[in-house]
Structure 1
């Protein structure tokens, strides 16, 4: 499971996804370009996820059915990387984007569930699958013994070594008992990561400031906040989104305002403290 860190490079990278986009043509001289498809419903996302998992199962079965003496880079490594790693990663990133920025709460939750489902499937059926690891090791042995086509490209050679190392990292070169314990710890940590980040994404903490306390913050920013009246005085209701925190830290003239906003932000999701402690303790069991 991956720990989320959304940034602009990641968002831009999503615009290369073609399987989940539609093409816009401006005129005959302009090349088509792709934009993210925001129109999928919750049910459609679930169905696409199930479809992708079924396609992945077929690739896994195809790889496992290759006879040991015929295992090669082309019939084992290439399908795993091009079909599973590349295509499924694109789809995962698409779900990840929706999870973070979709305006509808239902879509955010469905995307998070689908993302978690794919990550869990990949982890259990590909990256901790000892049979697949053995097939990849067989590829290396067959290449070394000249049973199959040799690798000419340095990139392909490095990819094979890196792939083998990835399986070692998750413990597939350990004993069966040690490997099972490692897998169990990884799954627990992954679930805790999901719960931790989901709490932050859905946090609704707000704090109210007077116009005077927000001195320095541009009017165009303040116009985006709701207002409330307390004891006849008008207050702006600020959320704890990154954009709001940045605006206060960058523009607010009063140190007390910046300090108050920082404290409120740091006190969000107090239940995450126990989750973090549990995660760290599990990590030390590795």
Structure 2
């Protein structure tokens, strides 16, 4: 039970009571209201729209009801069409243009809003003469919205997999195998392996049969091939739209408003990094290939894409005594979350209060506690400032952590309701959700996180904290609503806490210490692992120092290959979005380009080396980032890493839990959201312009 003063938030949480019928009606109601406002006073209504529109679109990522997911997708399409219509209204643009030309004195955030709104109208076709060109541009925008929604729906609905015999899955951890669906009839004796992360990643890391790994990899690359034509049409339409507006290509159009400003800056950054990483990548492949030859003496001498997770893991075990299965025992999901929230509490001056049982009914506007979550697995927290920060309410945090049919398949943070100042001058508080896919708990074992999953959770929680503590006047600039080549930096910076010994120790707690049932389960697993011998004694409650030391030694093992993989995504993104001519993009073989670039950049082979041709896989058909806002922006993961490493080395490396530094980071970086130029935010926090020195030093490339 929460303390009395933390049981009554000043704002009720949102409710999740939509039906397939109501959700489209709600979208149409919002649009009617907004259109009436626009018609009457020729003004925007962004803040109020955002309170409901984000949730209406959210159902398609999390609902278990197929009809509700379909309705959510339809509602999002309706809303997108309205937004396109809104930013192409001449009457609204005329007013915005007139206000801008008046050049009246405004506060900095209002001035930024006015300038960005004005530019949005121009970038959405109102710089084009009325007539066929503008009509074509509007037609393209509507079609692009439909393509994006359909593409993401295919990803969310994907439920494929492969039947394997237990022998084919030799080496895969028993807790994974025991969770797989058992076959019947013609598949009796087989196990159904899905492409969801809790099945896919352990199989690629542990399956000893290379044919199994190859089969899984190729099938995973082809699991959403109905998206292939959607992706192609999207790339071609984006290029046409950019050229209609007078840009040489879509990349020039998209990057103009980012920190990089021009595609040339991005290409130079990616090219320089590729040059610096190339030798290291080759050395890493040769070392891994030597390990493969030792393990598979009859192999053909090539290092394949489906080899990498397996031999990367094997190298860590053999050369660094690093057993990720043992490490995971120290990171049960719920205690790890508690530890992370404590870090954020201490660093940023926050309090997280889980809303459970009767407290849910007490805060629910409907009086029904079930209405404030969308699924029974979801946890919800009210978030407050601690006493030192004034004890005020901050917002709501939701955690939706386990896979299920129809759910978004990766890990992401979704803003449900932004924060802003309403028309009466009162603050509206944000609500934000982490949607992840970790292994479900069993009676004998809780959900356990590998170290990379700990880092993923911390990263996404970082986005959630950014969303929660932001305090902007306008919803447009709230939280993570920054330029794409900065948005990852705050969360990437926080990942460093997952490589800090004191924080790893504080986050850890061996799962066998959580309950007698878990202790019995651990002892049983130990007996099975040791051939029937009884466990000599319980493990230490906290992760041992020597294990932490070994883990930290591995931070940059095979790091060149990891970053070359990111470079492949970034360079592919730029390649398809900056063709020399429209005819070039129409003729470009997109899947072949994706596969060829991956082989050239990472120097790992795919099926093309076995006679499968360049079109053997269609990875672009599962590349949701490029359809969901990271187009001509995937480089932002790498450029944000430059900023995040600079911030950590400069401010936090010597004392990661420095409260004064944490508060300054909260108020100078996170609170600002996108309300001021991101370079100004960085420069003010660092006390100087950002530098690449720490980034290259951290990678060992200085």
Indicate the TM-score class for this superposition, using the shorter chain for normalisation: 0.7 to 0.9
Q: Tell me: CA distance 1:43–1:242, structure 2 relative to 1, closer, same or farther (3 Å).
A: same
Q: Secondary structure at the match of 2:34?
A: helix
The one of 145, 152, 158 equivalent to 2:106 is 152
Q: CA deviation digits over 1:233-267, x for unaligned, max 9? A: 51111222344333433444443333221211111
Q: Tell me: CA distance 1:26–1:121, structure 2 relative to 1, closer, same or farther (3 Å).
A: same
Q: Tell me: CA distance 1:250–1:29, structure 2 relative to 1, closer, same or farther (3 Å).
A: farther
Query: Residue 137 of structure 1 corresponds to which residue in structure 2?
Result: 97
Q: CA deviation digits over 1:8-67, x for unaligned, max 9? A: xxxxxxxxxxxxxxxxx9563324456553332222223322221221122212323xxx
Query: Residue 78 of structure 2 corresponds to which residue in structure 1?
Result: 117
2:7 is the counterpart of 1:53 = no
Query: Residue 126 of structure 2 corresponds to which residue in structure 1?
Result: 172
Q: Tell me: CA distance 1:244–1:58, structure 2 relative to 1, closer, same or farther (3 Å).
A: farther
Moved more, 175-184 or 239-248: 239-248
8 Å CA contact 2:182–2:188 kept in 1: the answer is no
Shift of 1:109: 0.8
Q: Secondary structure at the match of 1:170?
A: helix
8 Å CA contact 1:217–1:248 kept in 2: the answer is yes
TM-score (norm 1): 0.73
Q: Secondary structure at the match of 1:284?
A: helix
Unaligned runs of 5+ in 1: 1-24, 65-75, 145-149
**Aligned residue pairs, count:** 238
The one of 99, 107, 113 equivalent to 2:68 is 107
Shift of 1:181: 1.6
Query: Residue 203 of structure 2 corresponds to which residue in structure 1?
Result: 248
8 Å CA contact 1:205–1:268 kept in 2: the answer is yes
Query: Residue 63 of structure 1 corresponds to which residue in structure 2?
Result: 41
Q: Tell me: CA distance 1:121–1:231, structure 2 relative to 1, closer, same or farther (3 Å).
A: closer
Query: Residue 28 of structure 1 corresponds to which residue in structure 2?
Result: 4
Q: Tell me: CA distance 1:211–1:279, structure 2 relative to 1, closer, same or farther (3 Å).
A: same
Query: Residue 628 of structure 2 corresponds to which residue in structure 1?
Result: none
Moved more, 227-236 or 113-122: 227-236
Q: Secondary structure at the match of 2:4?
A: coil
Unaligned runs of 5+ in 2: 242-702
Q: Tell me: CA distance 1:62–1:220, structure 2 relative to 1, closer, same or farther (3 Å).
A: farther
Q: Secondary structure at the match of 1:207?
A: strand
Q: Secondary structure at the match of 2:189?
A: strand
Q: Secondary structure at the match of 1:199?
A: helix
Q: Tell me: CA distance 1:38–1:154, structure 2 relative to 1, closer, same or farther (3 Å).
A: closer
Q: Tell me: CA distance 1:157–1:193, structure 2 relative to 1, closer, same or farther (3 Å).
A: same
Separation (CA, whole Å) in 1 of partners of 2:187 and 2:32: 61
Q: Tell me: CA distance 1:244–1:55, structure 2 relative to 1, closer, same or farther (3 Å).
A: farther
8 Å CA contact 2:84–2:141 kept in 1: the answer is no
Q: Secondary structure at the match of 2:96?
A: helix
TM-score (norm 2): 0.32
CA RMSD of aligned residues (A): 2.5
Q: Tell me: CA distance 1:284–1:232, structure 2 relative to 1, closer, same or farther (3 Å).
A: closer
8 Å CA contact 2:60–2:153 kept in 1: the answer is no
Q: Secondary structure at the match of 1:38?
A: coil
Query: Residue 98 of structure 1 corresponds to which residue in structure 2?
Result: 59
Q: CA deviation digits over 1:133-173, x for unaligned, max 9? A: 111011123x33xxxxx333122112111111111111211
Separation (CA, whole Å) in 2 of partners of 1:118 and 1:274: 24
Q: Tell me: CA distance 1:119–1:247, structure 2 relative to 1, closer, same or farther (3 Å).
A: farther
8 Å CA contact 2:147–2:234 kept in 1: the answer is yes
8 Å CA contact 1:26–1:32 kept in 2: the answer is no
The one of 103, 106, 117 equivalent to 1:163 is 117
Query: Residue 204 of structure 1 corresponds to which residue in structure 2?
Result: 159
Separation (CA, whole Å) in 1 of partners of 2:51 and 2:175: 36
Q: Secondary structure at the match of 2:105?
A: coil
Query: Residue 576 of structure 2 corresponds to which residue in structure 1?
Result: none
Q: Secondary structure at the match of 1:175?
A: coil
8 Å CA contact 1:225–1:238 kept in 2: the answer is yes
Q: Tell me: CA distance 1:214–1:88, structure 2 relative to 1, closer, same or farther (3 Å).
A: farther
Larger radius of gyration: 2
Shift of 1:229: 4.2
Any residues of structure 2 matched to 1:235-274 within 5 Å, and which?
235-274=190-229
